[in-house]
Amino acid sequence: MSKLSSFTTTDLLIWYSNAASTDCGAIGHTKGRMNANLAKDYAGEIASRGTEVPEYYAAAETGTFNGRGSWGHEPH
């Protein structure tokens, strides 16, 4: 994913939670892996800004399955 630096930290945190939620709830391996990869990208950008990245499974509980930022619903 390119240009993550152009998005707000708040958006990245929401997208991180949504990707984690979709990973944890996905039945298929591909969908799970793609969302895990997105969450990792979001986490890297969040951390680079000096913001604490929430614990993965805690974030998944607050995220929305197939929400914005998850695989197939990536921001442009």
Q: Return the ∠ at Cα 15 (arms to 21 and 65), rounded to 5°.
A: 30
At residue 29, the pLDDT reads 93
> The pTM is what?
0.93
Q: What is the pLDDT of residues 19-71, one digit of tens each?
A: 999 999 999 999 999 999 999 999 999 999 999 999 999 999 999 999 999 99
Closest by Cα among 55, 47, 61, 57 to 12: 47
At residue 2, the pLDDT reads 60
How many angstroms separate the CA atoms of 36 and 22, rounded? 9
